[in-house]
Structures are given as C-alpha cells and as structure tokens.
Amino acid sequence: MITPPSYLTASDLISLSLLMFQALKQLPCEVHDINIQRLIKADIYKITSQSLNKAMEIAKDIRNKRLYSNANGYYGRLFEIGKQFDQSVKYTRIAIAHAQEADLPELSYLWQWQLARVFNKRGRIEEAVKSYQTATSIISPRSITESCGILKEFYMGYKDRKEVFSQKIKPLFLELAKIKMDEALKSEDQNDLHIVRNTIERVKSSELQNFYQDECLPVISNSDNLHYTAIDEYTAVIYPIFFPENLTYMLIFQDSIQMLTTTVNVNKINHLVKTLNQDILESSDYSDITDVYKKSI
C-alpha cells in the first residue's frame, strides 16, 4: 500500500517541529549571547508554528486523526514552552479528544501528561492530579481488575526498553508523586502520603512489567489497598523515593507515615553507588568501604 504524499508531508512537518523543540533545549548550551538567543528562538517558534499549522490543515483534509492529534498536541507543547498556558490547554484538549476518538491510547497518555504539566504550572493542582492519574492508568492499570496497560504497544519501534522507561514512563509517575508529596507536607494528610506510596509502587510494578516484557504481570494486585498492619509497633519501614532533585524517605509505621526530605540528588547517589561498587570489587577490607561511604554522604 502506497502512503499518500499528503500524509508524508504532514508527518515530515511534525517531525520538523520535534527537531525544533530539541533545538530550543540545546540553545542555551550552544549560544551564550542572550540577544542572539532571542532572535534564534523567535525564528524557531515561527518555523514550528507554521509547520504544525500546515500539518493540522493536511491532517484535517485527509481525515487522519492520528496526525491531527499529534499536530494539535505538539502545538499545545509549543504554547507550553512559551508559557501561553491557556492556548496550550486548548490545543492539548483537542489532541486528547481526537486520540480518544481514534482509540490511540499511546497518544492519549502523552497529551494527558502534557495537560497535567500545564495545569500544575498554573497552580490548578486538582485538575493536574486528575490528568496525571488518567495518564498513569493508561500506561499501567491500578489493579488486576482493570485492563492491561499499553507497555507492549508503547515499546514497539524502540530498541532500548530501559531508556524508554526511564525517559517516557517513570517521570510521569514521579511527577504525580511529587505533587501529592508537596500537598501532604502542607496539609499533613495521611491519605496524600498513601497516594505517594501507591504511586511509587506502580512505578515499580511498571518497571518489573518492562523487565519481564509483560504488561499484564500482576506484580501488585491492588496498590490502592496496600497496608502495613503487620509492622511491629516499634518498627518502621524505610521507603526511599528518588526524585530528580532530591532523595526523600517515607517512614512507614504501623499506624502512620512520615516524610523526610534530603538535599542529596540522584546524580550524587548514582556516583556514590558506583564508587562503593568499585571499592567492593577491588577491596577485601570492608572497613575501608565504610570509610568511603562516610566521606561521600
């Protein structure tokens, strides 16, 4: 079957917009003069806007909902980058609607995530949480009573499953957990802390599903009903959560959860783990390894 030239044109225009997004990310590293940066940004915005508008026109003419959803979704992302959040919400919602009509969950998850980010930036936390939860449910169901997620279909076309998970799935769950954690620290609401814990459990579940390449693997039968009633009265479970900017500990007691946040970021933790691992391989004296650990933290 020959793909119509108009479809290829729209697809190429959307691909061009993705290259423009990447150029925007790299611009501060490549160009240090602020005035030149502004000029280049203006050109990039113009090219991206024109490309996506033309892609929308073509997608509408040929009635291709996938293309139309992508063009609107990335147009919403352009407005998100430009901090024009109302416009971003408008086009992102159009993208979601067409993804749902065409039964494209791999796009629905992406645009629900984008909508959640925009709501979060606007301080519309309740709406952000709702969109985050919708997106995470598309990727990984909350319990075995729900249909399987889309991990298998999602990974099609990607060689490195681990990299895809760390870049396109795990951050979604961590962003939701971070919002609920911030709410919990303000309100001291135990329910929010339970949501944080359950969200991280779903990250682990999705990671195991990714490892075994089985999105229906019932790793956690019902994460919303996880309880720790078996914990001894004088015991606590230390539950680390690795956010990009810091390491947070949840202390789970028999009847409550407490939160502790450190200033140690993921990069420092990774460096420490690599150092300790190397020392373990090279040394038989574990007292030396203990000294390395103490100096590193």
**What does the domain layout of the chain look like in residue ranges?**
1-31+40-103
- What is the per-residue pLDDT for 225? 46
- What is the per-residue pLDDT for 283? 65
Report residue 181 as tokens: 């954690």
Is the confidence at residue 141, as pLDDT, over 90?
no
200-212 pLDDT, tens digit per residue, is 887 777 677 666 6
Mean pLDDT over 239-261 rounds to 81
Distance CA 197, CA 206 (A): 14
- What is the per-residue pLDDT for 264? 77
- Of residues 295 and 258, more confidence is placed in 258
Environment class of 70 (CB within 10 Å of its CB; exposed 0-12, middle 13-18, buried 19+): buried
Percentage of residues in the chain having pLDDT higher than 90: 41
Q: How confident is the model at residue 97 (pLDDT cuts 50, 70, 90)?
A: very high
Is the confidence at residue 111, as pLDDT, over 90?
yes
Which of 27-41, 117-131, 169-183, 218-232 has the weakest average pLDDT?
A: 218-232
- What is the per-residue pLDDT for 148? 57
- What is the per-residue pLDDT for 157? 57
- Of residues 85 and 196, more confidence is placed in 85
- What is the per-residue pLDDT for 187? 77
- Of residues 134 and 215, more confidence is placed in 134
- What is the per-residue pLDDT for 145? 44
